[in-house]
A and B are shown apart, each in its own frame.
Chain A
Amino acid sequence: MSYQDYECVIGLEIHAQLKTQSKMFSADSTQFEAADNAHTSIVSVGMPGALPTPNRLGVELAIKTGLALGCTIRERSVFARKNYFYPDLPKGYQISQYDEPLCENGRVIYLLDGAKKEVRIVRAHLEEDAGKSVHIGDASLINFNRSGIPLLEVVSAPDMRSPREAAQYAKSLRQILRYIGVCDGNLEEGSMRCDCNISVRKKGETRLGTKVEIKNINSFRFVEKALEYEFERQVTLLHSGQAIVQETRLWDPDKNRTFSMRIKEDADDYRYFPDPDLLPLVVSSSYIEGLKKQLPELPLERFERFQKQYGLPSYDAEILTEEKEIADYFERAVVVCGNPKAVSNWMMTDLMRLLNDQKLDINQCPISSESLGELVQLIDSGTISGKIGKTLINEMWDTGRRPKQIVEEKGLVQISDEKVIEGIIDAVLKDHSHAVAEYRSGKTKSFGFLVGQIMKACKGQANPQKVNELLKKKLES
């Protein structure tokens, strides 16, 4: 048997928690860190007679997402009840959208190994989260803090043909959600969750195979691993003449495998119907247009602009546009100094290392973008050497002070005055006469040693180019 005779067909359903303070249909808090059942209301625990009222911001963030994904926004959409029994769903139904979702027919374009790929978005609809159950031997324990949290379910078409493509699409979607500020994309805390639908078929076949849904995946690495496992499992079954069962499976990250959770219910089994407690959701085209104007430049556009406008290599552009805040920081620093490549180098090496070491976001960076721009400017104008710059950035990090201030106070200004440099060189040559003799006898390695001694003597402040020039002149005279 060869896996190469088969291909997989993957579609993802991604649930994004919309960044609101209060829940979708009630005013209790959405805060993640909270005591058990501390954030509930009569609506979110499903008290009889309690009525839902939609959160304006929840709707707004959903529409913004739809627009960023190129979807058509339905001016009149309908909330429906999805009926099923589970203890973390106290009403016996989830408020969702069924045949008239808010957003439809969009797409995500993303990069995979430098090439553009496209995934169609079938729909994105608003719904509420259920509570959380924890299973302990003889019982299940339920916490309703999550119940009613606004979710946008983004459903892709079955357009992906490999686990890697699927993981990359999911990452790109997360990046877009974070850029437009609708979702923090934290997979560990569950503010973004990914369900994968996968089927396999012989290559060349156009009909779709029976699909299996994999739930419970909380990292992009696991998206890829779970799909790889599932591809092999399904191919093995088909090859031995067995049928694939349409079911929901769970990913077990400890055992690196998926296992069957339940036989998947058909949409009919959910007995969807319009929720009589909620009016159809009506939004005007002018409101939608207004939201469209608020959207920032999206990651892919920005990535392309950074290469064009700043002449950055695609590697730099990709890293600098990964997060909106990093890209903003970069552009602000460039305004100050006008040297994009230098800013990029400082950010990708020193700044990111410092941030990683301290586990800080760029927003918490003690060095402001203006300070970094100023640092580049000081080097470009020859005021300080690049070597001093390396020391300076650490000092800027520790003190949060502007580089000009530090340079002036500590007298770190680069020495370019030839007379002063010559004086330092003469002293060093006098102290290291054997190295001078070695150089003159043909051991040119001694040159580097002497430069090192000179730089040490001047605490790295001498203009290195001038040091090289003058030293050569003196040795060869």
Chain B
Amino acid sequence: MDREIVKKVAHLARLELSESELNAITNKLTLVLQHFEAISQVNTEGVIPLVTPVDIEYRFREDVVEGDISVDEVMQNAPSRQGNLFKVPPVI
């Protein structure tokens, strides 16, 4: 695991890391990857990848409108607003 990859992943996750954090996390992630490398030694030929450990019947919802939350409720979570729209720093 090199520092550049860690920097990139941190950027994608919008995390700001200091130099010392970057060093520490690079070391830790290297250990994590080594752990997975060890696991990947296991022969999995013919084994279907496990998407979920719960083997239960699929559940659908019928196409019926219900359970909207009100504008007032949803806007309670807006740190900043303009009318009934969430206002955030400019992003293009």
Contacts and interface: CB of A to CB of B under 8 A. Distances in A.
Interface of A: 20-22, 26-29, 35-42, 45, 47, 53-59, 78, 83-87, 133-135, 137-144, 261, 269, 271, 274, 276, 279-282
B35 interface: no
Contact of B91 (A20, A27, A86): A86
Q: What 5 pairs across the A-B complex have the smallest Cβ distances? A: A57-B63, A56-B60, A141-B85, A36-B84, A142-B86
A282 B89 CA distance: 41
A466 B35 CA distance: 99
Contacts of A40: 68-69, 71, 74
A87 B88 contact: yes
Contacts of B85: 36-37, 134, 141-143
Q: Secondary structure at chain A's binding surface: helix, strand, loop or mixed?
A: loop
Interface of B: 12, 14, 51-52, 54, 56, 58-69, 71, 74-75, 77, 80, 82-92
Contacts of B90: 135, 137-140
Given A139-B88, A140-B92, 7 more contacts: A22-B63, A87-B88, A87-B91, A141-B87, A271-B12, A280-B52, A281-B58
Given A135-B90, A280-B52, A35 B84 contact: yes
Nearest to B49: A274
B82 A141 contact: yes
A38 B64 contact: no
A41 B60 contact: no
Contact of B86 (A35, A39, A87): A87
Contacts of B65: 21-22, 27-29
A53 B61 contact: yes
A84 to B, nearest CB: 8
A26 B58 CA distance: 16
A272 B15 CA distance: 18
B76 to A, nearest CB: 11
Given A36-B83, A37-B84, A137-B90, A59 B75 contact: no
A20 B61 contact: no
B67 A27 contact: yes
Contacts, number: 124
Nearest to B86: A142
Given A54-B61, A59-B60, A261 B92 contact: yes
A64 to B, nearest CB: 14
A42 B77 CA distance: 11
Contact of A22 (B51, B64, B77, B87): B64
A47 B74 CA distance: 10
Contact of A55 (B14, B63, B68): B63
Most interface-central of A22, A42, A86 (chain B CB within 10 A): A22
Nearest to B77: A45
Given A41-B69, A140-B89, A56 B84 contact: no
Contacts of B84: 35-38
A233 B39 CA distance: 50
Contacts of B67: 26-28, 41
B63 A58 contact: yes
B68 to A, nearest CB: 5
B68 A41 contact: yes
Contacts of B14: 85
Contacts of A138: 90
B91 A279 contact: no
Most interface-central of A47, A56, A144 (chain B CB within 10 A): A56
A140 B68 contact: no
Contacts of B56: 279
Nearest to B87: A139
Nearest to B70: A38
Nearest to B62: A56
Nearest to B73: A40
B74 A45 contact: yes
A407 to B, nearest CB: 47
17 contacts: A22-B66, A26-B67, A27-B61, A28-B65, A36-B71, A37-B71, A40-B69, A56-B60, A56-B63, A85-B14, A87-B91, A135-B92, A140-B89, A142-B87, A261-B92, A279-B59, A281-B58
A312 B3 CA distance: 70
B8 to A, nearest CB: 8
B86 to A, nearest CB: 4
A26 B67 CA distance: 9
A157 B85 CA distance: 39
Contacts of B92: 135, 140, 261
A22 B85 CA distance: 21
Contacts of B86: 37, 87, 141-144
Contacts of A276: 52
B60 A53 contact: yes
B51 A53 contact: no
Contacts of A279: 51-52, 54, 56, 58-59
A87 B69 CA distance: 20
Nearest to A275: B51
